[in-house]
Amino acid sequence: MGWAIALHGGAGDIPRSLPPERRIPREAALRHCLDIGVVALKANKHPLDVVELVVRELENIPNYNAGRGSVLTTAGTVEMEACIMDGKTKKCGAVSGLTTVVNPISLARLVMEKTSHIYLAFDGAEAFAREQGVETVDPSHFITQENIERLNQAKEANRVQIDYTQPIQKEVKAETHIADGDSQIGTVGCVAVDNHGNLATATSTGGLVNKMVGRIGDTPIIGSGTYANRLCAVSATGKGEEIIRGTVARDVAALMEFKGLSLKEAAAYVVEESTPKGNVGLVAVSATGEVTMAFNTTGMFRACATEDGYTEIGIWPSPQT
């Protein structure tokens, strides 16, 4: 048994031709946030504190679709959501429809710790944020030029689409690949376990480019995009509606609990057998320090580290997988 941590920045049809100006900052952010998490675990921080810390940092980096980098709805607004869960107690908190909260993941934790509820959304969540004194800003803070361009592109194509798709060049429009579906590439998440087997998970997202106002994805739904118990902690990413249908995060835990599968076996079954190809990725850790990062999409921005010295940072499948 030993500590372990894994994080993701979204899974989807990530082209290997992804331009360096979009790839390199995201890789650097993964490395930076992984380092923050490792330092915290080595300092004996509780995994709940670790995953919140890491996801807060990811929310503050505009290269991912969460917090500062959240993509825009069809109305040109942001609607952020997040979820956090403690494995030992199964305490959890979730929020949706946030428009002014700088760090949705911390508001989700406050829902968990300061209310008798699990999930607050839209006006109620915003009012709770003001009551708790969390940092809020004008909604324009979250509206970046890059995300305006993504929204305009999605509207032109009449699609809900992944957030990294390149702007359409009119002269080559007919040859430009426009991603169909609703994958959440850019969603961020972190899972961690300490030396005592304490587990926690956290996930945060801005949702989908050109999504309907009011749409809620898998991220804040316990057992779909986010779940932890005494055996494992899971954070999922991909096509939200498919993850909800498949109760992806809970299924990993259930296979361990009721079928006796290892973490890697359970994650592999959920990703490769029970979820349609091209729809999901996840990161997970077990109470014994096992870690896995599985996906059935073209790629997943991901990173992990364990106490025994193993570290991995990647986007596309590694040669041995």
Residues marked active site are found at: 187
Structure tokens at 287: 């109470």
Nearest to 91, CA basis, from 200, 191, 251, 192 = 200
For residue 188, the surrounding DSSP H or E stretch is strand 188-193
> Alpha helix (H) ranges present in the chain?
20-42, 47-60, 104-114, 122-132, 145-157, 240-246, 248-259, 263-269
Look at strands 4-12 and 188-193 and give their pairing: antiparallel
Letter for the amino acid at 99?
Answer: T
User: How far apart (Å, rounded) are the C-alpha atoms in residues 62 and 58?
Assistant: 8
The residue whose two tokens read 């587990």 is 199
Query: DSSP code of 155?
Result: H
> Alpha helix (H) ranges present in 102-239?
104-114, 122-132, 145-157
Look at strands 92-98 and 119-121 and give their pairing: parallel
Strand partners, 228: 233
Letter for the amino acid at 222?
Answer: I
| Residues 6 or more apart whose Cβ sits within 8 Å of residue 244 | 217, 218, 221, 224, 225
What is the strand order of the sheet 119-121 is part of?
Answer: 119-121, 92-98, 80-86, 199-205, 188-193, 4-12, 299-306, 311-314
